[in-house]
Amino acid sequence: MIIATSQLPHVLAVINAATIATLLYGYAQIREGRRDVHRKAMITAAVLGVAFLAIYFYYHASAGLAKFGGEGVIRPIYFTLLAIHVLMAVVAAVMAPAAIILALKERFATHKRLARWALPVWLFVSASGLVVYAMAVHLYPYHGA
């Protein structure tokens, strides 16, 4: 099955939602002391993250930057959220792999200290990505000039 480039924003939204669910599941598992299940969930989240980035870069290389159709007060709200989302995505793209590497090296104390910051940042990026998607694609789509 071939997915049209125009459908990729929807695929990215599904990946974001799956990432949120997987991260929360993994967090719940470590809180219950189930390290093996936690590890599998977090590796799944990492795979989702890599898939997201690959599709995201392919989409924007093919389709260019998304345009926002909202007017008035919603424009600065959207672009402020988008700027914060992008900035935090860069932070997450450094923190999450670092936390994963620390865990794989069994440096659990350092992993735990970093993960306490990396998890909420990653969750924020995934959730704000869904909000940006909803605003740009569904609520205020661009209809051309």
Cβ pair 92, 118 in contact under 8 A: yes
CA geometry: angle 99, 134, 140, nearest 5 deg: 140
Supply 111's token pair.
């992993």
The whole-angstrom separation of Cα 117 and Cα 95 is 8
27-61 residue pLDDT tens: 999 999 999 999 999 999 999 999 999 999 999 99
Q: Which among 121, 83, 84 is positioned nearest to 99, based on CA atoms?
A: 121
| Residue whose pair of structure tokens reads 């205020």 in the numeric block | 140
Cα dihedral across residues 97, 12, 71, 74: positive or negative = negative
Tens digits of pLDDT across the chain (145 residues): 788 999 999 999 999 999 999 999 999 999 999 999 999 999 999 999 999 999 999 999 998 888 899 999 999 999 999 999 999 999 999 999 999 999 999 999 999 999 999 999 999 999 999 999 999 999 999 987 6
- On whether the CB atoms of residues 16 and 129 are closer than 8 A, the answer is yes
Residue 64 confidence (pLDDT): 81
The CATH superfamily assigned to 5-139 is: Cytochrome c oxidase, subunit III, four-helix bundle (1.20.120.80)
